[in-house]
């Protein structure tokens, strides 16, 4: 996955396009405040980051939509996101289009059709990230992480502050760095390929068991607490029933069971025997209330049936998936002698003929079809359950509302009228009792729930023991050893302070260390910005070389923002405007040495690595000049054209003209 182009849309519909070469070093150079660093922020925003990263300035004021075209093998993906509204700091809505060859959409066609979560899911699938779960090293805690393309972004971006930092190796806010560090530690084993697929299967099973355990535990806790809570409500209804004459005042029921039994007896109470008043409005309301209750009960039965069906479908899918996994093992013996009288593993004779490979494969195919059908039905059933629950809540609220109206009518009557309406009051209480009883589930299922909790605890413990048996840490260390060899070689080429020593990525502390005669020297103890820059470059390039050579699902690009800044005084560097005549002598030699290193690495890995570099420096070597994505941004040339209106200017002109006409799209 590499970047073909970055697209900007103005508020009037004009388009600005910056194109890049696949598998090459691409350089954008120019003077300060032309939007070079913003390119990195735009790509990050269009890679599923909800927080709006674009800095305050002309770009933010004049750009309505940001877009990026990605190339993934023979597929192209266009992703665009709008500038958040003025009172928001983030935007999760996005537009995505996937095609063999992308035609850039017109401004009027840009309407959100997904969000950042959907965007990341699509890109993760396209890049080849398989379903997975990673656990922290401290012992497979319940706080698990499903790795997606979102975690790969830590290996893609190096803004100017990060690239020159001696403390931070990865890009991110200081206040978020603890979370970032933990995310990298948990996800890097996946990106390195240090975890076998069986681990993810077990981890997924562990996550499902843990989820079920939490749900059953909550249900058990609620069931055990239901006596005090629900009996309290029952007591209140019992007293109300006494007050309206439904229950004899001498009734001395005291236990929760006795009170519930009395209330249940009132479910079939003949309301006609006590309702003696027939005012039209009250009668109408009562009829409406009765109709709603009928619908409430009908909907409740449908909901319980749908929930039961949903549970059965999930159980079937889970058991079927396990069955399919066992049947899939037929591939181990697929090419062996499959005589029914011989054991397919040891070839010894058996007393009971074994099923043929073909019959097992046929069973597997049938089961997989059934699972596909069950998965599709499961989604439909889940949607039905969601709808029924929503309708149930609406009906419940309607009942409450109707009862409230009836109570208000009763309260507004004179004393005489209130006496005549005692039957209606009783009906209201009956309605409250029926609603309470219909939503109450005091079945004695506590023993069943306790047994389920115990079984799930046992399953979770067994799975955690198996998961811990995978030696992921040693596998990660071995792969970091391979990466370390490239880091050591490249430290020599960059003439870093401890060249010749072993350079290594320290996963625990997320830094680079050099082993100088048995003493580990971390990056922040190395002297000079050129050494800090060198550490950033060798570890990120070594990571990508490993990702490429082992076909790991990580995008194949790195964006570097102003790498040569570390070699020169700040005033001198910022004064450069991208003119090749500005840099001479030793300065030119330093810049050339760095870029020759980048050119050589990129060519070695061609066409699998793309480097996009923004800088103030510009030198007149053939390789540097051929790598320029555009002419230097100076003299009025920048990321955003000067003649684009700001949002405020656009709105003002739009209001003045009634409706602002759209300019012809101009691609610069």
Confidence bin at 477 (pLDDT 50/70/90) = very high
Pick from 74-83, 353-362, 564-573, 604-613: least confident: 353-362
Sign of the Cα torsion 619, 625, 629, 632 reads positive
93 pairs with which residues across the strands? 115
Residue 34's pLDDT band (cuts 50, 70, 90): very high
Identify the band that residue 92 occupies on the pLDDT scale cut at 50, 70 and 90: very high
Q: Does the pLDDT of residue 661 top 50, yes or no?
A: no
Give pTM, 2 decimals. Answer: 0.63
pLDDT confidence of residue 433: 83
| Residue 427, CA atoms < 13 Å, CB-side half-sphere | 27
Give which of 484, 455, 377, 451 is closest to 223, Cα–Cα: 451
Q: Chain-wide mean pLDDT for the chain? A: 84
Q: What is the per-residue pLDDT for 666?
A: 39
The residue with greater pLDDT, 281 or 12, is 12
Q: Is the dihedral of CA 201, 203, 206, 212 positive or negative?
A: negative
pLDDT confidence of residue 123 = 95
Q: What is the pLDDT of residue 288?
A: 86
pLDDT at 565: 93
Structure confidence by residue, pLDDT tens digits, 252-273: 666 766 787 888 888 777 665 5
User: Is residue 276 pLDDT above 50, yes or no?
Assistant: no
Q: Is 345 helix (H, G, I), strand (E, B) or coil?
A: coil
DSSP string, 352-408: SPPPPHHHHHHHHHHHHHHHHHHHHHHHHHHHHHHHHHHHHHHHHHHHHHHHHHHHH
* Residues facing 82 on adjacent strands: 65
Torsion region of 92: left, alpha or beta (phi above 0 gives left; psi -120 to 50 gives alpha):
alpha
Which of residues 279 and 627 earns the better pLDDT score? Answer: 627
Picking from 571, 563, 560, 564, the residue whose alpha carbon sits closest to that of residue 590 is 564
When pLDDT is cut at 50, 70 and 90, the band that residue 357 belongs to is low
Asked whether 259 and 251 are in contact (CB, 8 A), the reply is no
Q: CA-to-CA distance for 235 and 253, rounded, in angstroms?
A: 10
Q: Torsions phi, psi of 173, nearest 5?
A: -70, 145
pLDDT at 508: 94
Contact between residue 67 and residue 8 where contact means Cβ atoms under 8 Å apart: yes
Higher per-residue pLDDT: 233 or 562: 562
pLDDT of res. 578: 84
Specify the pLDDT at position 145: 63
Averaged pLDDT, 5-20? 97
Task: Give Cα 305 to chain centroid, integer Å.
Answer: 32
| pLDDT recorded at residue 421 | 62
Residue 225: pLDDT above 90?
no
Residue 414 pLDDT greater than 70, yes or no? no
Give me the pLDDT at residue 664, please.
42
Q: What are phi and psi of 96, to 5 degrees?
A: -135, 140
Residues 598-607: pLDDT tens digits? 999 999 999 9
Compute the average pLDDT of residues 323-341: 61
Stretch 93-106: mean pLDDT: 97
615 burial (CB, 10 Å; 0-12 / 13-18 / 19+) is buried
Residue linked to tokens 């390789």 = 623
Q: Of 41-55, 62-76, 345-359, 512-526, which range is least confident?
A: 345-359
Report whether pLDDT(281) > 50: yes
Q: Which residue has the higher pLDDT, 588 or 235?
A: 588
- pLDDT above 90: percentage of residues in the chain: 46
Unique residue bearing structure tokens 């600005």: 16
| Secondary structure (DSSP) of 65-131 | EEEEEEEETTEEEEEEEEPPPTT-SB--EEEEEEESSPPPPPGGG----EEHHHHHHHHHHHHTPPS
> pLDDT band for position 444 (50/70/90)?
low
Between 494 and 134, residue with greater pLDDT:
494
Lowest mean pLDDT among 352-356, 556-560, 571-575, 651-655: 352-356
pLDDT-derived band at 660, boundaries 50, 70, 90: very low
Q: Are residues 191 and 132 in contact, defined by beta-carbon separation less than 8 angstroms? A: no
In this structure, which topology does domain 2-178+474-652 adopt according to CATH? Rossmann fold (3.40.50)
Q: Give the mean pLDDT of 290-306.
A: 87
Q: What is the pLDDT of residue 435?
A: 80
pLDDT tier at 441, thresholds 50, 70, 90: low
For the segment 605-653, what is each residue's pLDDT rounded down to a tens digit? 999 999 999 999 999 999 999 999 999 999 999 999 999 999 999 988 8
Does 607 sit behind a cis peptide bond, omega within 30 degrees of 0 on the bond before it? yes
Give the E-state strand segments of 124-204 in sequence order: 157-158
Q: For the residues 528-532, what does the mean pLDDT come to?
A: 93
* 22/3 Cα distance (integer angstroms): 7
Residue 227: is its pLDDT beyond 90? no
Please determine, for residue 347, whether its predicted confidence score (pLDDT) is greater than 70: no
Instruction: Supply φ then ψ for residue 495, to 5 degrees.
Output: 60, 45
What's CA 615's distance to the chain center, in Å? 33
Q: Nearest-5° angle of CA 131, CA 134, CA 140? A: 140
Residue 345 has pLDDT above 70, yes or no: no
Averaged over 395-414, what is the pLDDT? 77
Full DSSP string of 574-590: HH--S-GGG--HHHHHH
Rg (CA), the chain: 35
Please state, in angstroms and rounded to a whole number, the distance separating the CA atoms of residues 175 and 180: 10
Where residue 278 falls among pLDDT bands split at 50, 70, 90? very low
* Residue scoring higher pLDDT (638 or 136): 638
Measured distance between the N- and C-terminal CA atoms of the chain, rounded to whole angstroms: 25
Q: DSSP secondary-structure letter at 192?
A: H
pLDDT above 70: percentage of residues in the chain: 82
């Amino acid at each position: 996955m590499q970047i073909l182009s970055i697209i900007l849309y103005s508020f009037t519909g004009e388009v600005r396009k910056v194109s890049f070469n696949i598998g090459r070093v691409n350089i954008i150079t120019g003077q300060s405040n032309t939007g070079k660093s913003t390119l990195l922020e735009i790509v990050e925003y269009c890679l599923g980051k909800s927080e709006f990263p674009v800095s305050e300035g002309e770009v933010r004021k004049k750009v309505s939509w940001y877009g990026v075209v990605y190339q993934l093998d023979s597929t192209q993906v266009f992703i665009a996101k709008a500038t958040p509204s003025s009172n928001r700091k983030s935007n999760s809505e996005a537009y995505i289009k996937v095609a063999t060859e992308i035609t850039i959409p017109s401004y009027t066609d840009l309407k959100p059709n997904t969000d950042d979560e959907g965007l990341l899911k699509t890109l993760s699938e396209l890049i080849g990230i398989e379903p997975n779960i990673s656990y922290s090293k401290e012992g497979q805690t319940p706080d698990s992480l499903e790795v997606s393309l979102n975690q790969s972004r830590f290996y893609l971006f190096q803004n100017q502050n990060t690239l020159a930092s001696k403390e931070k190796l990865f890009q991110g806010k200081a206040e978020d760095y603890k979370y970032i560090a933990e995310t990298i530690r948990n996800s890097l084993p996946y990106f390195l390929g240090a975890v076998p697929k069986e681990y993810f299967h077990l981890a997924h099973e562990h996550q499902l068991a843990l989820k079920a355990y939490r749900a059953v535990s909550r249900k058990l806790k609620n069931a055990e607490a239901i006596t005090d809570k629900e009996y309290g409500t029952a007591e209140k209804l019992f007293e109300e029933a006494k007050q309206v004459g439904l229950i004899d005042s001498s009734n001395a029921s005291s236990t929760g069971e006795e009170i519930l039994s009395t209330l249940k007896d009132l479910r079939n109470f003949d309301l006609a025997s006590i309702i003696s008043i027939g005012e039209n409005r009250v009668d109408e309301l009562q009829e409406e209330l009765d109709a709603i209750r009928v619908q409430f009960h009908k909907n409740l039965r449908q909901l319980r049936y749908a929930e039961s069906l949903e549970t059965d479908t999930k159980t079937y899918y889970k058991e079927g998936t396990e069955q399919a996994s066992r049947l899939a093992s037929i591939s181990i013996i697929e090419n062996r002698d499959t005589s029914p009288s011989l054991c397919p593993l040891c070839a010894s004779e058996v007393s009971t003929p074994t099923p043929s490979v073909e019959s097992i494969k046929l069973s597997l195919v049938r089961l997989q079809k059934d699972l596909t059908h069950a998965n599709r039905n499961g989604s439909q059933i889940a949607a039905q359950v969601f709808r029924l629950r929503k309708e149930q809540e609406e009906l419940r609220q309607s009942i409450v509302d109707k009862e409230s109206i009836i109570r208000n009518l009763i309260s507004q009557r004179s004393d005489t009228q209130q006496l005549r309406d005692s039957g209606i009051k009783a009906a209201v209480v009956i309605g409250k009792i029926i609603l309470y009883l219909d939503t109450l589930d005091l079945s004695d299922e506590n023993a069943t729930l306790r047994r389920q909790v115990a079984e799930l605890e046992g399953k979770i413990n067994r799975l955690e023991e198996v998961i811990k048996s995978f030696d992921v840490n040693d596998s990660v260390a071995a792969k970091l050893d391979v990466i370390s060899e490239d880091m050591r070689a490249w430290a020599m080429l960059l003439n870093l302070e401890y060249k010749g020593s072993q350079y290594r990525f320290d996963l625990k502390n997320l830094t680079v260390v050099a082993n100088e005669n048995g003493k580990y020297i971390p990056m922040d103890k190395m002297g000079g910005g050129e050494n800090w820059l060198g550490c950033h470059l060798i570890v990120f390039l070594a990571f990508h070389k490993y990702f490429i050579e082992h076909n790991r699902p990580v995008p194949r690009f790195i964006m570097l923002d102003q790498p040569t800044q570390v070699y020169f005084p700040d005033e001198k560097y910022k004064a450069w405007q991208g003119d090749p005549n500005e840099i001479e002598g030793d300065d030119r030699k330093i810049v050339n040495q760095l870029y020759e290193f980048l050119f050589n690495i990129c060519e070695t890995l061609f066409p699998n690595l793309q480097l996009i570099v923004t800088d103030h420096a510009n030198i007149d070597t053939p390789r540097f000049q051929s790598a320029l994505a555009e002419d230097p941004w100076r003299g009025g040339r920048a990321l955003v054209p000067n003649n684009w209106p700001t949002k405020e200017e656009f709105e003002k002109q739009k209001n003045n003209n009634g409706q602002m006409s759209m300019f012809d799209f101009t691609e610069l």
